[in-house]
A and B are shown apart, each in its own frame.
Chain A
């Protein structure tokens, strides 16, 4: 392929690509996101290829492995185009039926359809499924349509149009003005206005400048950046190139977690393909503008998501942050002006250029414009990735899209903003989700992880979990974070082990405030949030642990005991066989008993019991 020399040549190529495609041709798409692959999505894809070949349909039907569709809970997902027939949870065994009925004869297979748990009704089409219906998809729009390894697929849905427009019709200042007008704010969590960041870097003195994609998605429970790169890598790359042009950078990078091997592979391929077509590298689209691109893999350090730590890490050094008195836009990577934006921020840029700042402004709230992708995880029925306008309420997210809480339990709290975010109680579930509102209730946007906690969750244990995470991820450079977070963790350990003392709560609050004020970087400054918010909203649980030595949720091992409910126990012996301590005894068909001396409270008996006969208290 000869390199494209102009915006016109790109359009000609796009026409050629579209001319070879029939929008009415039957296409089977299988979700190839990491979640669906783990559920044997590849085997389903292979089965379709084999099934179509066996029926002589291979040339009439396309089979495509796409990026993540978002509804991970029901994977592997299959959608049949053009009608968008939706079959969730497809196994390789079901494939021959789909081929011989739906593909060959257009028959819908009732038993494979999605059943709406709320109404019990079967739903045929993807767009009617409540999980999708209530969303507003911009970033994730093309994820289910395109093969992420095919640049033609991206071009067919309008890919690189924004880059061509910018290079042929707009000055860098005009690009920055458009992004500023869109009021786009950083999707990494802090919400800094993107246009201002670009303007600062553009105005900074010097000819050597850099742009970086932050794909070090370290927040546990967040995987939207990964899914975007795995599903639509070119969109991220296109956004980066537009930014590079706007700030005057000629070298771009992605810093990506090594835990995401497929995303690494896809972005690497995307860059190679883009370069082959003259969309990356020297003299892009004949405009005279050049920009190279390199992939930098992380090596497992949460703090590297912090901008200054990330840049040190890219230089081949330990990822320790430095004071932000000087911004990266003045002195970042190798002490040159640098723009670092989150993956989602970059990927939104082509949409803003194509559809205009006014369109972007029409979505969201006063202070938070556009859409945000959340990962809805934890004790919610429909786990997955959802894209919604900023400003939706937490309750709508959980009930209307997430399908409510698992197993009919009650919502207790929602943890947003990653390990240094906060826990928002059910009583505040009508709060809006945007930068300001989340901060007001003591949490933060973070990268969009939304972990739903039900009544079986112990809030003290949750705080302990996050402080354990934060203390092991503290880089150790500044004292406030290194010592403060560990001290808080130690106190929480004691409390959850039933050794809490009078005064612990006051001590936690003091340590929290001190760490917040004294830490060098955002990790340390926000690390006390899980403790401070649970103390604010769930103080009674702390008191129950400390004063009464009880864990109301039945989680903290030293404060609970397991026993068999004699009236429910059928004497099947399953718990007895599975108990690692041989602590359970009883005759067949007789109620069993747990020896409290031997019991280590591992919970296996409760997990294996089919009759709900194990009680925790």
Chain B
């Protein structure tokens, strides 16, 4: 459920100025892992903007998701340095293990696979980030071990 009072608080934090729209949406996304439609409508109403502008901004920037995302966000860096060091192979491997493609969430809502254009830790490439924790110099063979740290109970994992 979306707590509209909390949404109001996010808007108020920045004084309701139009220029704060992305900041407000970032805060909502942090709280809900995506942008729920109710929240976006509330933002439009409260900031006196058209819902169109809010949707335009929400769909323009890559940080925003209009779909609910999983409990754990797996981000594989595909910046140039990671690309040449095998980042795409990590994406393939995570995708194979979880049966998702970038942008998708597992049916049990545990994991979302995403890619990012550069995290600026190029010395550690290729990089996998899980919920903000960086796993540098990742290998294809090491992906499963990392995933297991986040799975709910290893038995489920073994069956899935």
Contact = CB atoms under 8 A, between A and B. Distances in A.
Contacts of A578: 140-141
Contacts of B136: 35, 38-39
A319 B59 CA distance: 11
In the complex, which of the residues B49, B85, B127 has the most CB atoms of chain A within 10 Å of its own CB atom? B85
Interface in B119-159: 119-125, 127, 134, 136, 139-141
A130 interface: no
Contacts of A415: 80
B62 A449 contact: no
A318 B62 contact: no
A371 interface: no
A469 B141 contact: no
B116 interface: yes
A562 to B, nearest CB: 13
A73 B136 CA distance: 11
B22 A449 contact: no
A315 interface: yes
A429 B130 CA distance: 38
Interface stretch (B2-10, B66-74, B89-97, B104-112): B89-97
Contacts of A377: 80-81, 122-123, 125
A378 interface: yes
Contacts of A220: 78-83, 117-118
B63 interface: yes
Contacts, number: 157
Contacts of B96: 580
A171 interface: no
Contact of B123 (A313, A384, A457, A465): A384
Contacts of B80: 220-221, 377-378, 415, 419, 449, 451, 465-466
Contacts of B84: 378-379, 451, 453, 457, 462
11 contacts: A38-B127, A259-B116, A259-B118, A296-B23, A297-B22, A299-B26, A316-B19, A318-B61, A449-B80, A603-B140, A608-B139
A522 to B, nearest CB: 17
Interface residues of B, number: 47
Interface of B: 17-23, 25-26, 49, 53, 56-57, 60-64, 78-86, 89, 92-93, 96, 116-125, 127, 134, 136, 139-141
Interface in A414-459: 415, 419, 449, 451, 453, 457
Contact of B18 (A227, A315, A469, A580): A315
A604 interface: yes
A318 B56 contact: yes
9 A-B pairs with the lowest CB-CB distances in the bound complex, closest first: A223-B120, A220-B79, A72-B123, A300-B62, A299-B61, A220-B118, A38-B134, A316-B21, A377-B122
Interface of A: 34-35, 37-39, 72-73, 75, 217-223, 226-227, 258-260, 296-302, 313-319, 375, 377-379, 383-384, 415, 419, 449, 451, 453, 457, 462, 465-466, 469, 473, 475, 578, 580, 602-604, 607-608
B35 to A, nearest CB: 11
Contacts of B57: 299, 316-318
A258 B75 CA distance: 15
A378 B86 CA distance: 11
A299 B123 contact: no
A190 to B, nearest CB: 20
A221 B56 contact: no
Contact of B19 (A72, A260, A315, A379): A315
Contact of B89 (A219, A473, A602): A602
In the complex, which of the residues A222, A226, A300, A315 has the most CB atoms of chain B within 10 Å of its own CB atom? A300
A451 B84 CA distance: 9
A221 B139 CA distance: 19
B118 A221 contact: yes
